[in-house]
Structure 1
Amino acid sequence: MNEKPLSHQKKRTFQPEKLSPPRDFSKPSILLNNNAESAPIIIEIGTGKGKHALSFAATNPDRHLIAIERTRNKFEAFAKQASQQDLDNLTPVHADAIAWIVHAMASNSVAQIYILYPNPEQHNPNQQWLNMPFFEFLLSRLQEGGEIILATNIETYMDNAEQQADRVWRLPAVRQQVPADSQRTHFEVKYLARNESCWQLTMHKPTGYQTRFDEWTASE
C-alpha cells in the first residue's frame, strides 16, 4: 500500500460524473468479454493517422489495442488504413479520449497506455497530461504493474512530466532518449529526421497504488 497520502489527493478532484458519453458511444466487444484469458488491453491516446497503432497491432497479435483519435480528418485516414489491414486486435475510436475512457474503461483494466507526442500545450500548461486532474482517473483504469509511455520532442514538457510523475503521482519512472532510428509516429519520424532530440518517459503503477476512482463506475 502507499506509505503516505498521495500528493495528487491534495489537487483539484476530477469529476467524471459531469462528462457525457461521446456521440454514438458504445463499448467495443473486447470490453464486453469478461473472459480472464482475453488479450491484455492497450490504449493509445491521440493516435493521429495511426502509424504506431497499425504497427503495434500487427506486431503484437496477443494484445488488443484501442486507438483513440479526436480529429476527424486524422481519424478517417487512420480508420481507412485499419480497414484495409483488417487487424482483429485493433479497435479505432473517434472520440475525445477523456470522455471515452470515463465511460468505457473499468477500473484496473488496462495493461499499457501510450501518449505519443501530445500537444505540448506550452501556453496552457494545465492541459498537459500529468498536470490534469484526469490523470488520477487514468491511473485508476491502469492495472497494477501496468505502464504509461509518454513521448515528446519538447524538453521542458518532459522535464515537467518527469517531475510530476515523481512528486505528485509517486510513480516509478524511467526517462530515456528515443533512438535516432525510431519510427513509431509521423511526428517522431519528422523530428528525428531534423536531428531533434526526442524523449520517452515510462511510468509504472506500483502494487497497492490507490486513487479516488478505484471504485467509480460510469452509470449505464
Structure 2
Amino acid sequence: MQIRQFQVQRMSAPRDFQPIENRPIDLEIGAGKGKHAVMFCEGHPQSTLYAIERTKEKFNFMAKTHQTQALDNLHPIHADAIPWITHAIFPEQVNTCFILYPNPEPHNSAQRWLNMPFFELLLSRVRAGGTIILASNIAEYIAEAETQLNRVWQLPYVKEKISSDSARTHFEVKYLERGELCQQLVISKPHGYHTRFDTFLPLHGKQHAE
C-alpha cells in the first residue's frame, strides 16, 4: 500500500486548544475512561502523560478520575488526536506513544493508524529510541500492522502476547475475561530514522520552541 503525504495545512486547531511546552512527554491516543492513563501516571511519577480522548462521555469520566486522584503528571485532552498532535507536539518530544485497542475500522481500512498518512507525522514526534505500543484483540489488525511496518514504514518491532491478568484498559479486561487473544506490537524508532516532518514545528506551538 502506497501512503500519500499527510496534509498538515488542512488541520484546524481543536476547540479551546492550548499549546504545550517543548519537553519530553508520553502520549496515549484514544485513552477512553483513563484506566491506563491513571495506572501509568501512578507508576511513573517522573513522567508526564498527555491522554487524548475524543468521546465526550469517556473524557468526562477520565477528567473526573484525574481530579479525584490529583495526578499532576496526567493531562487529559478532549480532542481528536490528529489535529491536536499536529498543533501541539514537537519533533522527537514523545518517549512512548500508547495506542491501546483502537477502533479496527472494519469498513474503512484506510482509517487504521498504520495505513494513514498521519502515521508519518506521528513517527516524527517520537524521539529516536522511543516506542509506539499498539494493542488489539483482533489478529487480522495486528497482522496488517506488521505488514505495514515491514513494507511501508520499515520499522523494527516486537510482537507480544498480552498476559491474561493484564488490566490496562476496560476493553482489555473484557477481552481477556472472554478468553480472547490480545497482542501488542512494541514498535521502535531507530536512531537515524527520517520522516518528511522531522523539522516541522507544531502549528500553534512555535512560541514554545527551544
Is it true that 1:139 corresponds to 2:131 in the alignment?
no
Is it true that 1:11 corresponds to 2:12 in the alignment?
no
Q: CA deviation at 1:11?
A: 2.5
State the percentage of identical aligned residues.
Answer: 54
Output aligned runs, 1:86-105, within 5 Å: 86-105=70-89
Describe the SS at the equivalent of 2:159: strand
Report the Cα distance in structure 1 between the residues aligned to 2:60 and 2:84, rounded to whole angstroms: 18
**Partner residue of 2:106?**
122
Q: Structure 1 residue aligned with 2:95, among 111, 127, 131?
A: 111
Aligned length: 204
Q: CA deviation at 1:218?
A: 3.3
Structure 2: give runs of 5+ residues left out of the alignment. Answer: 205-210
Q: CA deviation at 1:216?
A: 1.2
**Partner residue of 2:55?**
71
Q: Which string of whole-angstrom CA distances, capped at 9 and with x for unpartnered residues, describes residues 86-142 of structure 1? A: 111100000000000000000111111000000001111000000000000000000
Asked if 2 retains the 8 angstrom alpha-carbon contact of 1:166 and 1:173, the reply is: no
**Partner residue of 2:171?**
187
Describe the SS at the equivalent of 2:99: strand
**Partner residue of 1:164?**
148
Report the Cα distance in structure 2 between the residues aligned to 1:68 and 1:105, rounded to whole angstroms: 12
Q: CA deviation at 1:27?
A: 1.9
Is it true that 1:21 corresponds to 2:17 in the alignment?
no
CA RMSD of aligned residues (A): 1.2
Q: Which runs of 4+ in 1 moved over 6 A?
A: none
What TM-score, normalized by structure 1, do the two folds share?
A: 0.90
Asked if 2 retains the 8 angstrom alpha-carbon contact of 1:17 and 1:218, the reply is: no
What TM-score, normalized by structure 2, do the two folds share?
A: 0.94
